[in-house]
Amino acid sequence: MERCAAVDVHYPADGGARGAAVLTADATFAGAVEDLVATVDDVAPYEPGRFALRELPVLLAVLAGAGPLALVVVDGYVDLDPAGRPGLGAHLHAALGVPVIGVAKTAFRAATHAAPVLRGTATRPLLVTAAGMPRADAARLVAAMAGPHRLPDALRRVDALARGRTP
């Protein structure tokens, strides 16, 4: 069974970081197969433009227990501009060697290439970028992901897990 993962990171007020992954057997994330959570005590400080250096080690820690993956969906951008300036998703793609889809909730001014995806009754689109697959295919996958809301259920679930909440 090829697994897909949705991932997110949260930074608790008391320090460190908590990474979470929701694993499923298909790209629609119709049903979670397994939830993973990892805590990393020592994280890099926030530096504008270097977000990936802070989050990547946490995501790699949580995905260490995932087994082989066919696809990863990350909350954020894969690349930050049409020229391909790497964002978190690009670094994750380079580290794992699997397709990565970035799903951003807010616009990043330089990311004019991101594909807008409207879900549910939302009037504000999600912004989709990708590495290892065409952006248009990634946008179709995000549109088809399980859940009736703007944000797919898997991304809502992984956000709750990363924050230490029960989804």
Instruction: List, for residues 28-53, the tens digit of each pLDDT value.
Output: 999 878 999 999 998 887 776 667 77
Mean of pLDDT values over 139-146: 97
Residue 115: predicted pLDDT: 97
What distance in Å separates the CA atoms of residue 167 and residue 158, rounded to the nearest whole number?
8
| pLDDT over threshold 90, residue 1 | no
DSSP class of 91: H
Report the alpha-carbon angle 77-34-36, nearest 5: 60
Q: What is the DSSP string of 95-146?
A: HH-S-EEEEESS--TT-TTPEEE--TT-SSPEEEEEESS-HHHHHHHHHHSS
Please say whether the beta carbons of 69 and 4 come within 8 A: yes
| pLDDT over threshold 90, residue 153 | yes
C-alpha 1, offset from chain centre: 21
User: Per residue in 54-107, pLDDT tens?
Assistant: 899 999 999 998 999 999 999 999 999 999 999 999 999 999 999 999 999 999
Domains and CATH numbers, the chain: 3-162 (3.30.2170.10)
Confidence of residue 133 (pLDDT cuts 50, 70, 90): very high
Mean of pLDDT values over 109-125: 94
Mean of pLDDT values over 6-24: 94
Alpha-carbon torsion angle 121, 126, 130, 136, nearest 10: 50
Sign of the Cα torsion 141, 143, 144, 147 reads: positive
Q: Which residues are within 8 A (CB) of 83 and not within 5 positions of it... i.e. 6 or more apart?
A: none
Mean of pLDDT values over 108-130: 95
Please say whether the beta carbons of 162 and 9 come within 8 A: yes
Residue 48: predicted pLDDT: 67
Average pLDDT, the chain: 93
Predicted structure pTM score = 0.94
